[in-house]
Structure 1
């Protein structure tokens, strides 16, 4: 099965660590990162899509993507 996640977070080191942790668990970057201003909190937000192929498993909507 192929899994997809969209990681988001504030524009700081925690976001970079979140993406780095996913890459180290076998996820691959998918597309370009995004960067946007959150007017409510007056902060910059980042986003990055990641994908992962998992052999021998079948997708169901109750899968916890973070477990992979």
Structure 2
């Protein structure tokens, strides 16, 4: 089964580390990254979708970050 996550964070090195950590854990990039201004907080925000094949059935209780 393929699972999906959307990683988001402020436009800092922390976002790049978040994506790099997901890749190191076997997640794969899915689509193009996003980049937008967050007017409420006055910062640029980044997003990147990732997917991963897992051997367990889907459950809404899954902790996707722990897969």
Please tell me the TM-score bracket, short chain as reference.
over 0.9
Counterpart position of 1:63: 62
Q: Could you tell me which runs of 5 or more consecutive residues in structure 1 were left unpaired when the two chains were aligned.
A: none
Any idea what the Cα deviations from partners look like across 1:36-59, whole Å, max 9, x if unmatched? 00011110000000000012x111
Q: Map 1:1-68 to 2 at 5 A.
A: 1-55=1-55, 57-68=56-67
User: Matches of 1:43 and 1:62 in 2, distance apart?
Assistant: 31
- Equivalent residues, number: 67
| Partner-residue secondary structure (3-state), 2:14 | helix
Structure 1 outlier segments of 4+, above 6 Å? none
Q: Could you tell me which runs of 5 or more consecutive residues in structure 2 were left unpaired when the two chains were aligned.
A: none
User: Matches of 1:54 and 1:38 in 2, distance apart?
Assistant: 33
Taking only aligned residues, the RMSD between alpha carbons, in angstroms, comes to: 0.5
User: Matches of 2:59 and 2:39 in 1, distance apart?
Assistant: 35
